[in-house]
Amino acid sequence: MVAAMFLMKKETKKDDKKLGGLLKSKTAGELRLQKEMTDLEKDLDPNVKLTFPEKNNIMEFEATIKVDDEDSLWYSASYKFNIKVPPNYPHEPPRCTCVTKIYHPNIDLSGNVCLNILRADWKPILGINIVLIGLKMLFSEPNSNDPLNHEAADVMRNDFTLFKSNVKKSLKGQTVDGQSFPKLL
> Following DSSP, what letter does each residue of the chain receive, concatenated?
-HHHHHHHHHHHHHHHHHTTSTTTT--HHHHHHHHHHHHHHHH--TTEEEE-SSTT-TTEEEEEEE---TTSTTTT-EEEEEEE--TTTTSS--EEEE-S---BTTB-TT-BB--GGGTTT--TT--HHHHHHHHHHHHHS--TTS-SSHHHHHHHHH-HHHHHHHHHHHHBT-EETTEE--B--
For residues 39-53, give the mean pLDDT: 93
Let me know: does 31 contact 19? Beta carbons within 8 Å. no
If you average pLDDT over residues 74-96, what whole number do you get? Answer: 96
pLDDT band at 4, cuts 50/70/90?
Answer: very low
- Would you state the pLDDT for residue 12? 55
Instruction: Give the percent of the chain with pLDDT over 70.
Output: 87
Q: Which domains, and CATH codes, for the chain? A: 44-180 (3.10.110.10)
Average of pLDDT values for 109-129?
95
Q: Mean pLDDT across the stretch 79-84?
A: 98
98 is catalytic: no
pLDDT tens by residue, 15-35: 555 555 554 578 889 999 999
State mean pLDDT over 66-86.
Answer: 97
pLDDT, averaged across the chain: 90
Place 2 in a pLDDT band, splitting at 50, 70 and 90. very low
Residue 5 confidence class, pLDDT cut points 50, 70, 90: very low
Write out 38-59 in H/E/C secondary structure: HHHHHHCCCCEEEECCCCCCCC
The residue from 114, 118, 132, 135 that is catalytic is 114
Nearest C-alpha neighbor of 147 from the set 159, 137, 135, 157: 157
Give the integer Cα–Cα distance in Å for 30 and 34. 6
